Amino acid sequence: DSVASRGLGDVYKRQIISFLNQKGGVGKTTLSTNVAYALSQRGYKVLLADADPQGSAISWAAVRGNKVLPFTVVGMANASLRQQLPRMQEQDGYEFVIIDGAPRMTELSRAAIIVSDLIVMPMRPSGFDIWATEELKSMVDEARIYKPEIITAVCLNAVINNTKLAKEVIADMEENHWSFFETTITQRVAFGNAGTQGLSVIELDPYSEAAKEIEQLTDEIVSLKG
């Protein structure tokens, strides 16, 4: 079912959100930085925690130069994020904490899972990505023993327009009762152009189709916060 159709926004308040998938190259940093920016533009106080040892989100923020970043970015590539992030959220009043997760299922990933309210699983429409996401789902199911309220949802990313593959993947997710966002993110040059400049696609061109997709995805995420 799509996340919106499940009506979760009436029940849960979402505050700590991880973008996770054990497969690299699915767009975790692209989506986490763009959603963090979109949330900050709506007036929310946002913390982006870079939990990837490669430090992609930190690098993204660094190349902005003197452009003011409207949210806080910190490096936190250690399992202590499980204790540190809730403490920072409480002390500094962050309404959304976004975790840009590491590739591969490590102790870092397990810590991010257990601390999260919502886990966004970026996934390209391919068989390899489905298999990797199934492994992540299994790990989350294990974590639900300790935190049963964790919500997961797939975000289809880098979808090529006018292909059957995305529709087939969505049909497969529906058949297997996976939760997913109604918004799909299309493969667009704008995401790469913005990322190399340390910008969000909203900054690059707020009227672009890429920006509209990020805004739509953010709408769905905000609806889960209640």
As beta bridge partners, residue 159 has 186
Look at phi and psi of residue 55 and say left if phi exceeds 0, alpha if psi is from -120 to 50, else beta.
left
Tell whether the model's pLDDT for residue 6 goes beyond 50. no
Are the CB atoms for 28 and 20 separated by under 8 Å?
yes
Averaged pLDDT for residues 146-165: 88
Two tokens, residue 105 = 């299922």
As a whole number of angstroms, the distance between CA 184 and CA 157 comes to 6
pLDDT digits (tens, 9 = 90+) for 71-90: 999 999 998 999 999 999 99
Percent of the chain whose pLDDT exceeds 70:
92
SS3 content of the chain, % helix, strand, coil (to 5): 45, 15, 40
Determine the angle formed by the axes of helices 81-92 and 107-115, rounding to 10 degrees: 40
Nearest to 27 by CA among 149, 195, 141, 225: 195
CA dihedral for 17, 20, 26, 30, sign (positive or negative): positive
Q: What is the pTM of this model?
A: 0.91
The neighbour count for residue 144, using CB atoms within 10 Å, is: 13
As a whole number of angstroms, the distance between CA 114 and CA 64 comes to 32
pLDDT digits (tens, 9 = 90+) for 12-65: 355 899 999 888 889 999 999 999 999 999 999 999 999 998 999 999 999 998
